[in-house]
Structure 1
Amino acid sequence: MDSTQSLGIPRRHQPAKIVEFKVKPGEQVNKQAPLLTYEYREKMNKDDPAFQDDSVIKALHKKVDADGTFGKREYLRSPFEGQVSKLLCKLGDSVVHEQPLIEVVVPCTHGTVFNGLCALCGKDVSGVDTSGVPDTQANIEMFHDANGLMVSNDVAAEIDADTQNVLWRQRKLSLIIDLDQTIIHANATLNPEFESWLIDNYKGPEAPSSADLDNVVVEQTGQRKLPSDIGSFYLSDSVYQYFIKLRPGLRQFLETISQLYEMHIYTMGSRPYADAVAGIIDPEGRYFNRRILSRDESGSTRKKNLRRLFPVDTSMVAILDDRADVWEWTPNLIKVHPYEFFRGVGDINAGNLPPTQPQPQPQPQPQPQPQKQEQQQTSEEKQPTGTDDNADSGSQTV
């Protein structure tokens, strides 16, 4: 399980000069132990309140160069517990980010961590700051429903390569699909009569015939069935009844696209909601096969991140969503027109999202006005009709 890790300075500190070594080869070091001291140049920000102090200016007077930079020293610290094996630089050397400076032999890099415990050695690594750690230490979440499971960048790259090899053999790509107003439209209601009203009034492309609606019943309840492209469910933590309308042609779309893509669901809805919707659109698990990511796993109610599922390589991934802003307009996105069936409902899971901005419309060119005729208007002509003048007074069609 031992591995040798090469350590260097952060990119933002390059170039730097080695000033002092804090360790020797063969020495044991703890996590965050200083290994060496280096010096780099930093630009003096005259707007910084610290530089408004006369004593600070006086102290820096002899250290600030003509270009406005001054020397600043930092420790290179070990992100691991281990043993120093080699010093790869000398005092006074000028070094850059990509250059390895010290090698440390590490008993375990904790490449896979579950709920704070290393899956390789069993050590508790919870609470450890993983920012800036090497690629061998677990700090990446890339799984759909395994909360608390993290892997290192190296392990993520191996998983990603294995997935790509499988898809290449199948001649497929990956497709991330949003739910609400992309492939379905949802409504949540407390009205117990809504289902009956929906059955009586729905006239959609997949609606059953009137004879079916009158004659097909559920034996135990005696209630008529919903149309085949509308599903319904309750969530255990909610008193609302949810109705899910499939976008027209969805079943054929999923069947066709499944031959070309491995599909994933990525939704701002909760995990129970996502599972319930998946049970309606994919009851046998043929298309998504538990590849579902909800807000409970992603940790965000305002943004979606492509690298949450594909942290290494996104070149084989496409996205289907009705909103581009949550993806920060990534070029992988195929934006679709929002699907609306329940009028006025919108996206029931967009409570924390900013409102969508309407597409800019071209402004009509001003028309030349005819010259006014100097003629006396009759008193009847001067009376407002109440039609055109009040057309925009606030009334709306629903």
Structure 2
Amino acid sequence: MTQVSENSLIMTDKTTLISNIEKSAIQISKIKVKEGASLYEGKIILFYHTDFNSKSKKKTKQLKAKDAGVLGSVLVKEQDVVEPGKGLYTYKSGCSHSTVINDLCAECGIDLQKDEKGPLAGGGASVPMVHTIPSLKVSHEQAQILGRADETRLIEDRKLVLLVDLDQTLIHTTNDNIPPNIKDIHHFQLNGPRSPWYHTRLRPGTHQFLASISKWYELHICTFGSRNYAHQIAHFLDAQGKYFSSRILSRDECFDFHSKTANLKALFPCGDNMVCIIDDREDVWNYALNLIHVKPYHFFRHTGDINAPPGLNKSDNDTLEEGYTIAQLAKGVSIKKSNAKPSSSSSNSNSVPNEGERKKRKREELKEEEEEEEV
């Protein structure tokens, strides 16, 4: 195959017209692009023949884009015969860089950090919409299009979105020394045979809860645990990937190590009106109105949330009574709450229960675990 060595350029109101520059008529054999497609330098637009009347084997030539832009109108059809000087297609030069990964435009291939004008701020691509690939960003306009498409899909599937926390919501993990023969404990290492051991127990009723709730919700994991940790726990919860798939947001992808709300705008650019959250902590969600506060799950003594953000409490807090259990969530709950943060005086009033209260709570926790196992 040979390539057309140059293009005829005629600027018309910021739109470039590409014409047949051959000395004779050409026949269009194959068109490779559609109107509105992104162009980059060297992208094949169409194939054509100059010797289309020859009885011998025809030689195919390529017409390639000269620079980046957006295809306007395709002025020919396959099998058309185009005389010299006649138009083939139009395009608008330049690239909006609406999709960027690692500072490389996914449409035109330019390295935005090395551009002669300096960093182009992604050409407006600033919204990371993929949980596990924060370096993949799209423009605000593209994010709105994708967000509306997601909402339409959810409505057609008759589902909402449920963001699920891991530590002390669905599981409890410790890195203390634990005997290997305790029932229903998952033992694992994250970074090779010489790395620390972790021990995780799933909250009773979790598998049944996920199977039930996934009928009405698209499930996403949102955790302050590391990426390796999050994916390992997801495997324990959902070995076949039928509940969470790749929708796992870990600490490595969080914009703010102290707050989970910062990622909501990126994940749901059209708003979180179709999003519900379950978590054992309200503070990391800034006491959001669409949060269902789950009672923390404790199995290992003297271990709280091992992945709590810096500066937030990591200790075992068996005195906390607020929140729903998995059993209650499975049966359905009605949320009536304000966005007022609890005062320090009210939070301290129950911080030191007496012996009678502790025994009563213990009985209630045992009863709740029995209910969860029956979910």
Structure 2 unaligned blocks of 5 or more: 1-12, 15-67, 70-91, 321-341, 356-375
Q: 2:189 aligns with which of 209, 215, 234?
A: 234
Kindly state the Cα deviation for residue 195 of structure 1 after the two structures are TM-superposed.
2.7
Corresponding residue of 2:128: 141
Kindly state the Cα deviation for residue 255 of structure 1 after the two structures are TM-superposed.
0.4
Code of the residue aligned with 2:218 in structure 1: it is E
Q: 2:104 aligns with which of 81, 93, 117?
A: 117
Q: Does 1:333 align with 2:291?
A: yes
The 5 Å alignment of 1:305-384 reads 305=262, 306-355=264-313, 360=346
Corresponding residue of 2:214: 258
Hey, what's the Cα distance between the residues in 2 that align with 1:248 and 1:263?
19
- SS of the residue aligned with 2:95? coil
Q: 2:151 aligns with which of 164, 168, 175?
A: 164
Kindly state the Cα deviation for residue 265 of structure 1 after the two structures are TM-superposed.
0.3
Hey, what's the Cα distance between the residues in 2 that align with 1:147 and 1:140?
9
Corresponding residue of 1:32: none
The 5 Å alignment of 1:1-398 reads 107-126=94-113, 128=119, 130=121, 137-189=124-176, 191=177, 194-196=178-180, 199=182, 227=183, 229-236=184-191, 239-304=195-260, 305=262, 306-355=264-313, 360=346
Instruction: Check whether the contact 1:175–1:320 (CA below 8 A) recurs between aligned residues.
Output: yes
Kindly state the Cα deviation for residue 353 of structure 1 after the two structures are TM-superposed.
4.0
Instruction: Check whether the contact 1:175–1:263 (CA below 8 A) recurs between aligned residues.
Output: yes
CA distance 1:348–1:362, shift in 2 (3 Å): closer
Instruction: Check whether the contact 1:301–1:353 (CA below 8 A) recurs between aligned residues.
Output: no
Hey, what's the Cα distance between the residues in 2 that align with 1:106 and 1:155?
19
Q: What do residues 232-251 of structure 1 show as CA deviations (whole Å, max 9, x unaligned)?
A: 21111662111111111111
Q: Which structure carries more relative contact order (alpha carbon 8 Å, separation 6+)? A: 1
CA distance 1:111–1:340, shift in 2 (3 Å): same
Code of the residue aligned with 1:120 in structure 2: it is E
Kindly state the Cα deviation for residue 280 of structure 1 after the two structures are TM-superposed.
0.6
Hey, what's the Cα distance between the residues in 1 that align with 2:207 and 2:95?
48
CA distance 1:316–1:246, shift in 2 (3 Å): same
Q: What do residues 94-146 of structure 1 show as CA deviations (whole Å, max 9, x unaligned)?
A: xxxxxxxxxxx87211110011011111122237364xx9xx72011121111
Q: Normalised by the size of structure 2, how large is the TM-score? A: 0.56
CA distance 1:176–1:362, shift in 2 (3 Å): closer
Corresponding residue of 2:8: none
Hey, what's the Cα distance between the residues in 2 that align with 1:353 and 1:162?
39
Q: What do residues 255-311 of structure 1 show as CA deviations (whole Å, max 9, x unaligned)?
A: 000000000001101000001101111111111011101011124321112224213
Hey, what's the Cα distance between the residues in 2 that align with 1:341 and 1:309?
32
Hey, what's the Cα distance between the residues in 2 that align with 1:307 and 1:245?
32
Code of the residue aligned with 2:179 in structure 1: it is E
Hey, what's the Cα distance between the residues in 1 that align with 2:300 and 2:312?
21
Hey, what's the Cα distance between the residues in 2 that align with 1:288 and 1:297?
16
Hey, what's the Cα distance between the residues in 2 that align with 1:353 and 1:244?
23
Give the greater-gyration-radius structure (CA). 1
Corresponding residue of 1:51: none
Hey, what's the Cα distance between the residues in 2 that align with 1:332 and 1:231?
31
Q: What do residues 331-385 of structure 1 show as CA deviations (whole Å, max 9, x unaligned)?
A: 1211111111111100001151423897726979xxxxxxxxxxxxxxxxxxxxx
Instruction: Check whether the contact 1:298–1:308 (CA below 8 A) recurs between aligned residues.
Output: no
CA distance 1:286–1:353, shift in 2 (3 Å): farther
Code of the residue aligned with 1:234 in structure 2: it is Q
Hey, what's the Cα distance between the residues in 2 that align with 1:118 and 1:280?
37
Paired positions, count:
230
CA distance 1:353–1:250, shift in 2 (3 Å): farther
CA distance 1:115–1:353, shift in 2 (3 Å): same
Instruction: Check whether the contact 2:258–2:309 (CA below 8 A) recurs between aligned residues.
Output: no
Code of the residue aligned with 2:102 in structure 1: it is N
Q: What do residues 182-234 of structure 1 show as CA deviations (whole Å, max 9, x unaligned)?
A: 11000113x3xx233x52xxxxxxxxxxxxxxxxxxxxxxxxxxx3x432211
Hey, what's the Cα distance between the residues in 2 that align with 1:362 and 1:107?
61
Hey, what's the Cα distance between the residues in 2 that align with 1:363 and 1:317?
33
Hey, what's the Cα distance between the residues in 2 that align with 1:188 and 1:171?
41
Hey, what's the Cα distance between the residues in 2 that align with 1:179 and 1:267?
6
Code of the residue aligned with 2:147 in structure 1: it is D
Hey, what's the Cα distance between the residues in 1 that align with 2:101 and 2:306?
33
Structure 1 unaligned blocks of 5 or more: 5-80, 83-104, 200-226, 365-390, 392-398
Hey, what's the Cα distance between the residues in 2 that align with 1:187 and 1:178?
16
Q: Normalised by the size of structure 1, how large is the TM-score? A: 0.53
Identity of aligned residues (%): 43
Instruction: Check whether the contact 1:302–1:352 (CA below 8 A) recurs between aligned residues.
Output: yes
Q: Aligned-pair RMSD on alpha carbons? A: 3.0
